[in-house]
Amino acid sequence: MSDQELMQLAETARTNAYAPYSSFKVGAALLCSDGSIYTGCNVENSSYGASMCAERAAISKAVADGKRIFVKIAVCGGKVNTETPCPPCGICRQVFREFCEDNFRIVMKNGNSLFSDTIGDLLPLCFQKSLLDL
C-alpha cells in the first residue's frame, strides 16, 4: 500500500466527517501489519470535549478488531479547500505511542505532495507504558 493510496482512503473517509462546529473535517487511514486498513473521520459533539479525532477513530476500530501492530497512518484535513498539512494532535500522538514503535509513520499532505514523519520524531521523550512498571 503506497502512501498515495493510503491518503486517498483518508480523503474518502474525510467526506464522512461530522464537524458542524469547527468545519474542520479530518480523515485518516491506518495500515496494519497484516495489510488490513481502517479508516476514521472526526466526529464532533456539542459538548466539545466529547469530540473524537479521525486518527483515534481509526485506531479504535482496528483495536476492536483485534489489531495491535500498525505500520503507518495517512491524515488529511482542514477547512474546505485548504491544502495545508494536518498533523495529529497531542492526544492522538500519545495514542499512537501506546501501540507503535518509533518508526511508525504519519503521512500528511502539503498541497499536492505527501510527506511523513515518524512518531519518534513527532513525540519524543513521551510517557510510555514501560514507565508504569507493571
Nearest to 24 by CA among 92, 84, 97, 95: 84
Catalytic residue among 5, 11, 44, 55: 55
Under 8 Å between Cβ of 19 and 76: no
Among 79, 89, 115, 128, binds Zn ion (CB under 5 A): 89
Please tell me whether residue 76 binds Zn ion under the rule CB under 5 A.
no
**C-alpha count within 13 angstroms, C-beta hemisphere, residue 53:** 18
Please tell me whether residue 9 binds Zn ion under the rule CB under 5 A.
no
Residue nearer to Zn ion on the CB measure, 1 or 89: 89
* Catalytic status, residue 55: yes
Under 8 Å between Cβ of 18 and 41: yes
Min dist CB 130 to Zn ion, Å, is 23
**Interface residues with Zn ion (CB under 5 A)?**
53, 89, 92
